Structure 1
Amino acid sequence: MSAKHRKPVLVVGLGRFGGAVAHTLERMGHEVLGADTDARLVHQFAGQLTKAIEADCTDMTTLEQLGVGDFEAAVVAIGTDIEASVLTVLALSDLGLTNIWAKATNDKHARILERTGAQHVVFPEQRMGERVAHLLNERLLDFIGFGDEFAIARLKAPEPIVGLPLVSSECRKKFDVTVVGVKREGENFIHAVPDTIIFPEDELVVSGRIDDIERFSAT
């Protein structure tokens, strides 16, 4: 479905996380209704989103007046007020919304959100903290973790495989990682194949266990 035919998205909480989500959705072509109890934030976003309103979204009547049933999804980005976060998710769920994303501050908060109707729970601060910690390894340029063990990372080509085709470097056998693609300066990203030769300044996209990727990047 094209963006212009998508139903609007509700973003509750226009702090740093919610504001970033709302801005990105707007850039992607969604209609975005941003809601917050802070009049200052609502005023700040008034000209940047499809619509921004001052509203208490823990109240089901308020949500009904906003026409939540016509929304494609809702993002509950409320930060420190856990009670408001949970009550908003509960109200959205009771009104029949089946695509609810919610920000959690800890595991207990996440469990409550899931039990009250959130289909997707995210930990933005925790994920960013983990990402920064891994990126302290100077050879890692970007990092996306999946669960507790696996990741996809972008890194500088390790010295031991420079000048070799991937089939000869045996990354899977020696390092337990898979080279997915290669980015060379001035050239487009290419998908890696067995005869791809790695140059000194290449950036690699690799997948594997986190420990193995870090060990590979440090070789």
Structure 2
Amino acid sequence: MAENTPVVVIGMGRFGSSIALELTRLGTEVLAIDQRPKTVQALAGELTQIVTADATDIQALRQLGVPDFYRAVVAIGSDIEASILTTSLLVELGVEKIWAKAISRQHGRILERIGANHVVLPEHDMGERVAHLVSGRMLDYVQIDRDYALAKTRPPRELVGVPLGETNLRRKHGVTIVSVKPQGESYTYATEETVLQYDDLILIAGPTTKVERFTDL
């Protein structure tokens, strides 16, 4: 499917409205749904297709043409029952790619079991990211998978002034430097010939525990 295929976003709280607005800015057609008339009215000037409807009503979803969508985001927050029911209805209607917001890991596991392809825990993920930034030498941190991460940091002393191909980095530390940003320059690919300096920024990838251990060097 093309990247700009329409997306239905259900739930226009802070999380859902941010997704809908950013998708619109990127040129993706969005159908936004929320059951609160005041919320819909407030966003009507920024989203071309936003409607007031109960997403837990399968007939309402059918009337809005939701079965014709390939991608959907369930951004319903604290109402767990509505979140689960809406996700199950999207599965029943044949929507193939479903992203769903969860407020806990247990909530997320339920969403996965009923058919959500991607479960997002925004508060947990952001808390985890900030904790890594506060506690260590990381300048940025992204959890790619359950046990794989990408981090931005500066090179430890043992890597400075030596071509990366001679450092045995992956064998010794289990991580890979994927990109380097010399001071005052742009990011570029890291190669075996790359020689790091103290002021460089590096992006490293690897298993989460090994990335954390490397940034503590």
TM-score when scaled to structure 1? Answer: 0.90
Letter in 1 for 2:17: G
C-alpha separation in 1, matches of 2:129 and 2:117: 24
Match of 2:117 in 1: 119
Match of 2:11 in 1: 13
Percent identity, please: 47
Match of 2:182 in 1: 184
- How many Å apart are 1:59 and its aligned residue? 0.4
SS at match of 2:89: helix
C-alpha separation in 2, matches of 1:137 and 1:185: 24
C-alpha separation in 2, matches of 1:122 and 1:88: 16
Letter in 2 for 1:186: G
C-alpha separation in 1, matches of 2:151 and 2:188: 15
- How many Å apart are 1:138 and its aligned residue? 4.8
C-alpha separation in 1, matches of 2:145 and 2:173: 20
Letter in 2 for 1:117: G
Map 1:202-213; keep pairs closer than 5 Å.
Answer: 202-213=200-211
Question: Do residues 156 (structure 1) and 158 (structure 2) align?
Answer: no
Deviations 1:88-107 (A, max 9, x none): 11222222212121111223
- How many Å apart are 1:140 and its aligned residue? 0.7
SS at match of 1:113: helix
Q: Which runs of 5+ in 1 are unaligned?
A: none
Match of 1:70 in 2: 68
Which portions of structure 1, spanning 4 or more consecutive aligned residues, are displaced by more than 6 angstroms? none
SS at match of 1:136: helix
Q: 2:132 aligns with which of 126, 131, 134?
A: 134
Q: Which runs of 5+ in 2 are unaligned?
A: none
Distance change >3 Å, CA 215–CA 119, structure 1 → 2: closer
Match of 2:216 in 1: 218
Deviations 1:18-40 (A, max 9, x none): 11211221122111111112223
- How many Å apart are 1:198 and its aligned residue? 0.2
Letter in 2 for 1:195: E
RMSD: 1.8
C-alpha separation in 2, matches of 1:110 and 1:211: 23
C-alpha separation in 1, matches of 2:38 and 2:137: 42
SS at match of 1:79: coil
SS at match of 2:47: coil
C-alpha separation in 2, matches of 1:66 and 1:212: 48
C-alpha separation in 2, matches of 1:107 and 1:128: 14
Distance change >3 Å, CA 69–CA 152, structure 1 → 2: same
Q: Is the 8 A contact 2:179 2:203 kept in 1?
A: yes
Q: Is the 8 A contact 1:7 1:70 kept in 2?
A: no
Greater shift in the superposed pair: 121-130 or 161-170: 161-170
Letter in 2 for 1:133: A
C-alpha separation in 2, matches of 1:34 and 1:64: 14
Match of 1:172 in 2: 170
C-alpha separation in 2, matches of 1:161 and 1:192: 13
SS at match of 1:140: coil
SS at match of 2:76: coil
C-alpha separation in 2, matches of 1:183 and 1:68: 44
Q: Is the 8 A contact 2:6 2:29 kept in 1?
A: yes
Map 1:57-96; keep pairs closer than 5 Å.
Answer: 57-96=55-94
